[in-house]
Amino acid sequence: MKTVVIGSGSWGTALAQVLVDNGQDCIIWGKNHEEVNEIQNEHTIKKFFPDVQLNPQLQATADLSVVKDADVVLLSVPSIAIEEVCQSILPYLTKKIIVVNTAKGFHPGNNDRMSNVIRDCIPSDKLSSVVSLIGPSHAEEVVLRMLTTICAVSLNEADAMTIQHLFSNNYFRVYRGNDELGSELGVAVKNAIALASGVLAGLGYGDNTKAALITRGLAEMIRFGTAMGGRQETFMGLTGIGDLVVTCTSVHSRNFQAGYQIGKADDAQVFWQNNTKTVEGVRTAKVLYELKEQHQIDMPIVDEIYKVLYEGKKPSVSARDLMLRELKAEL
Ligand SMILES: NC(=O)C1=CN([C@@H]2O[C@H](COP(=O)(O)OP(=O)(O)OC[C@H]3O[C@@H](n4cnc5c(N)ncnc54)[C@H](OP(=O)(O)O)[C@@H]3O)[C@@H](O)[C@H]2O)C=CC1
Ligand SMILES: O=C(CO)COP(=O)(O)O
């Protein structure tokens, strides 16, 4: 079974190395020729992992026709690029493939979630199914083979099982799930909450605040996710609380880091002026704000992170306003 990983970023490289460690036939496609040459010839990718020597069996190419005999195509690009890469691989596909999605966010135009975007682009005669491989998993740790659990979520149980077995090994354990909607919403919502977690840390708050944010953030994720049709128990799993915890607490998280900068400056301008990284939570906060207004869902943390990012509200004022809302029962 041949897998082509689309995207030579940190996550694509780390996941490709899992497959190569498993003895699988796998190659990375990247648009950046320098990155591709570095992976192929030097077995490193210093921009993301400065001190890591990758598995020397890892292969990379800048020739997109490599997808023509793939059985599995894993998309490891940001959510804003998913539609574009689906359109670019389409002319090369000669048979039905499993598409593995790893992006955590929404389509930039219609705000749809990732599996729907992929199904809209790739016709059913070329697509066996979409499997989202998502959960608490920073590339920086997976590339060092640190113990990680993740979930292969699909409406197609057989394909989820195929992906589960393809990737699982003694450091990377893959569970299966079928609540595609709930899981994809869970991993998107957690990015906006992780931004808020970074903001609070940047403002100087400590562990009590982080625990409060994660707990109340989970409550918002469940309210939103179940209102949209997800199953409550999904949010208690790897694609809910699991990914929320890792992203709200890890220095590896770009969402947390972006929030930290904003909190430190007590202003989001610093982010808008300097950011060059993929920070999915920024656009997700806007999508969530619009959806929660439309569906009348109570999401005070999302309200405040939206106001900080898009209305110039000072983070310190947002934190105070969250604390001074009307008192209520917890559950
Ligand atoms: N990094 C991580 O630890 C994890 C990331 N994710 C998710 O995976 C997704 C990708 O993340 P990550 O790898 O970190 O992101 P990156 O920003 O590193 O982008 C990944 C790769 O996609 C390429 N790319 C971007 N736009 C396009 C395009 N239009 N066409 C082709 N290639 C493109 C980038 O190339 P270039 O740099 O040249 O633009 C880069 O090589 C995100 O949704 C993220 O939330 C999920 C779990 C873990
Ligand atoms: O999704 C991730 C970990 O599970 C990566 O998070 P960041 O995009 O914040 O780095």
ipTM reported for the complex, 2 dp: 0.98
Ligand 2 nearest atom to the CA of residue 11, by list position: 5
Dist CA 267 CA 243 (whole Å): 26
Mutate to test the pocket of ligand 1, among 77, 137, 140, 187 (most ligand atoms within 8 A of CB): 77
**What distance separates the 2 farthest-apart alpha carbons in the chain?**
60
Is there a common fold for 2-178 and 183-323?
no
Distance CA 2, CA 158 (A): 17
Domain layout of the chain by residue ranges? 2-178, 183-323
Ligand 1 atom 45, closest CA: 104
Q: Residue with the nearest Cα to atom 27 of ligand 1?
A: 81
Burial degree of 227 (CB within 10 A; 0-12, 13-18, 19+): middle
What global pTM score does this model have?
Answer: 0.98
How is domain 2-178 classified at the CATH fold level?
Rossmann fold (3.40.50)
pLDDT by position in tens, the chain (length 331): 999 999 999 999 999 999 999 999 999 999 999 999 999 999 999 999 999 999 999 999 999 999 999 999 999 999 999 999 999 999 999 999 999 999 999 999 999 999 999 999 999 999 999 999 999 999 999 999 999 999 999 999 999 999 999 999 999 999 999 999 999 999 999 999 999 999 999 999 999 999 999 999 999 999 999 999 999 999 999 999 999 999 999 999 999 999 999 999 999 999 999 999 999 999 999 999 999 999 999 999 999 999 999 999 999 999 999 999 999 999 9
Contacts (Cβ under 8 Å, ≥6 apart) of 137: 148, 150, 246
Report how far Cα 88 is from the mean position of its chain's Cα atoms: 21
Does any ligand 2 atom lie closer than 6 A to the CB of residue 136?
A: yes
Residue 96 is a catalytic residue: no
Angle subtended at Cα 331 by Cα 292 and Cα 176, rounded to the nearest 5 degrees: 70
What's the CA gap between 303 and 296, in Å, rounded?
12
**Backbone phi, then psi, for 134, in 5-degree steps?**
-140, 155
What residues are designated binding site?
7-12, 31, 104, 135, 137, 139, 190, 243, 253-255, 277, 280
183-323 falls under which CATH superfamily? Answer: N-(1-d-carboxylethyl)-l-norvaline Dehydrogenase; domain 2 (1.10.1040.10)
Catalytic residue selected from 46, 95, 126, 190:
190
- Pocket test residue of 39, 46, 76 for ligand 1, highest count of atoms within 8 A of CB: 76
- pLDDT value for 151: 98
Q: Which atom of ligand 2 is nearest to the CA of 243?
A: 4
194 lines ligand 2 (CB under 6 A): yes
Q: Which atom of ligand 1 is the closest one to the Cα of 8?
A: 41
